[in-house]
Amino acid sequence: MFQQIQVPASSVPAGAEFGIYVSGDSMEPRYHNGQIVWVKSCEELECGDIGIFVYDDCGYLKKYDEHTPDKSQAEFLTDSYGVVHNQPVLVSLNTKYSPILISPNLCVLAKKCGISYSTIQTTARRGGQLSVETIERICQGLGITLKDFFDSS
């Protein structure tokens, strides 16, 4: 749910595009429940950066990190050259919360095909109904033709 509020321009840091309310204590002691966090959109974060994330239909204010995947996840994070990439992780500053491991197969597919993670999530919720444009992007990312895609179903 979105709520638009008026705030004095002097309270908005330079470069901020919008603000969100913190809900909960997972980012204490730095961020507190009810505090407004000012956000600037970006394409990428470095390990250790604090960001806003949407994952599994939930919004998170977390620290971005990457971990070496365990054996069960390593195959999903291995590229065509055999290089195992780190698994994205969302970390709370409050140590009473466990890190959130981001599902590697969905993230890799989303990045490789140029499709947002939320698009893939929405598709899964709709029972796999994809637009033609999305199917074409998946095929392009996987290096197959539309014919190959439909012949394999």
Q: For residue range 63-116, list pLDDT tens digits in order.
A: 989 888 888 777 777 777 888 888 888 999 999 999 998 875 555 556 666 666
pTM above 0.75, yes or no: no
Residue 153 has pLDDT above 60, yes or no: no
Question: What integer pLDDT is reported at residue 121 of this predicted model?
Answer: 60
Residue 131 has pLDDT above 60, yes or no: yes
Q: Per-residue pLDDT tens for 23-65?
A: 999 999 999 999 988 888 777 778 898 988 877 767 888 998 9
Two tokens at 30?
A: 């730095």
Rounded CA-CA distance 20/3 in Å is 9
Question: What integer pLDDT is reported at residue 10 of this predicted model?
Answer: 86
Neighbours of 61 (CB within 10 A): 23
Question: What integer pLDDT is reported at residue 24 of this predicted model?
Answer: 93
User: Is-contact 86 69, C-beta < 8 A?
Assistant: yes
The dihedrals phi and psi of 113, each to the nearest 5 degrees, come to -90, -5
Instruction: Please tell me what DSSP assigns to residue 57.
Output: T
Average of per-residue pLDDT across 117-121? 62
Rounded CA-CA distance 115/96 in Å is 34
State the greatest distance between any 2 C-alpha atoms of the chain, in Å, as a whole number: 59
Q: Where are the beta strands (DSSP E) in the chain?
A: 18-21, 36-39, 50-55, 58-67, 87-91, 100-101
